[in-house]
Amino acid sequence: MKKRISVLLAVVMLLAVAMVITGCGETNTEPKVHKHDIGETKDVEFTVWDGSAITGEGTYNLYLDKDMKMDKKLVLGDMMSTSDITINLCLNGYKWESEGRIADIYDGVTLNICNCSETETTVVGKGDPYIKRAGTFYVNLEGELNVYGKINVTCDNTAERVAYGGVAEVMGKMGIYGATVTGVDVKRIPKENGQADTTTGQGGGICVNSGGELILKDGLITGGSSAVGANVFVVGGSTFTMENSKITGGLCKFYTYPNQNGEPSTSGGNGSVFIEESTFIMKNSEISGAEVAGKAAVMCNKANCVVEMTDSKIINNKSTHATFGGGMHWAKDDGVLKLSGKIEIDNNTNGSGKSNVLIYSPGMVIQDLGMSADSKVGISVFENTAGKVADKNSAAFYADSDACKLVEDNGGWALAKK
């Protein structure tokens, strides 16, 4: 008999937004026949994938008929040139794991993973024994990875092979639609085998760099741990957009290692989400439950950080540090925080009490672009020095410290001692 399932492997990126989030669409489950709609094309027959290499150009429509355990990573495309390869893989309720990374996705390759089973399944890699960066997926500059539906993508880092991106390192594009990323603990990897020393573990969940793009829609990123960017680390002109999604938990610790002179040097402790020279967009989303030793649940480092929040919350996070931010920490000039709709940056703390948005440098600006009347945004300034913090006042803004108040200053608003 025919059971129709609905939906979605997107072949065309532009269609991705319209795609149904539950993953694989209408499916035909007659024995030995596995079909999905792909975009406008109905009943495309998928074939069983036995884990063998995928090398030639073209489109592959594949599904699993049993748990897949690979003994090494899958290399999709070519490190030195651009390929034209699209792979639509339905996990069909089965687990996909690897003794190494799951896959490296090179330029021109798109890997779409879905799961048409009612039961959540797992994709888990163990990192690369030779290149200690991403745990489960590496996505090159022109590569693309999309994960749809009831799939938990995670990593087994017990061998400590992973330093950047516990689950994925993304220089190209990654979309998470209705799926979960469960981060892991990534540590600094000491210099060995002639490879460059890494400064600190970066991105217990996902590391986005080199102008990469991460989209999290109707999804969850949770549970990562690292020196910086416990869950997500976004640097180098990259963009991270989350919509109808949550980022929960996240542990950022200080790490102490010998410096070049052999003396102990401590760094890290910053950001469930760490942003540097990049853009972070939150729509109808929440970041909560992070605990950091240093700077805030959302750490905006260096210049040119832009954070746009619409109908979103950064709540119930804490820094155990006495003076660094608990909710958000803005480290350098030129940062812009754009707020619209109902915003709550509230109930975040540091070691001294309330700490929601900490302006560490007075050059950044908070913009009220139409916040609702019931919004709440706590603000403080490092060491309570006055600085422009908002380009107009808003009933939503309040001073985190009773010793301070918002005052008019050169056409904008500043926090000053009472």
What is the binding site for Zn ion (CB under 5 A)? 24, 27, 90, 92, 116
Comparison of 62 and 386: residue with beta carbon closer to Zn ion = 62
Burial readout 174-187 (b: 16 or more C-beta within 10 A, e: otherwise): bbbbbbbbbbbbbb
Residues constituting the chain: 418
| One-letter amino acid for residue 195 of the chain | Q
Residue closer to Zn ion (CB basis): 31 or 194: 31
Q: How far is the CB of 22 from Zn ion (least distance, A)?
A: 11
Which of residues 49 and 360 has its CB atom nearest to Zn ion in the complex? 49
* Choice between 2 and 418, CB closer to Zn ion: 2
Closest CA to 271 of 291, 242, 244, 256: 291
Provide the minimum distance between the beta carbon of 92 and Zn ion in the complex, in angstroms, as a whole number. 5
Contact 314, 299 (CB under 8 A): no
In the complex, minimum distance from the CB of residue 115 to Zn ion, in angstroms, rounded to a whole number: 7
Q: Which is nearer to Zn ion, 7 or 170 (CB)?
A: 7
Q: How far is the CB of 37 from Zn ion (least distance, A)?
A: 11
Residue 283: partners with Cβ closer than 8 Å, 6 or more residues away: 241, 242, 243, 244, 310, 311, 312
Measured in whole angstroms, how far is the alpha carbon of residue 190 from the centre of its chain? 25
Minimum distance from CB of 145 to Zn ion (Å)?
Answer: 18
- Distance separating alpha carbons of residues 245 and 282, to the nearest angstrom: 9
CB atoms within 10 A of CB 54: 19
DSSP per-residue string spanning 333-373:
TT-EEEEEES-EEES-EETTEE-SEEESSTT-EEEEEEE-T
Nearer to Zn ion, 89 or 290 (CB): 89
**What gap in Å lies between CA 233 and CA 186, rounded to an integer?**
12
Tokens representing 239? 């963009």
Shortest Å distance, C-beta 46 to Zn ion:
7
Nearer to Zn ion, 24 or 179 (CB): 24
Q: What is the smallest separation between the CB atom of 174 and Zn ion, expressed in angstroms?
A: 21
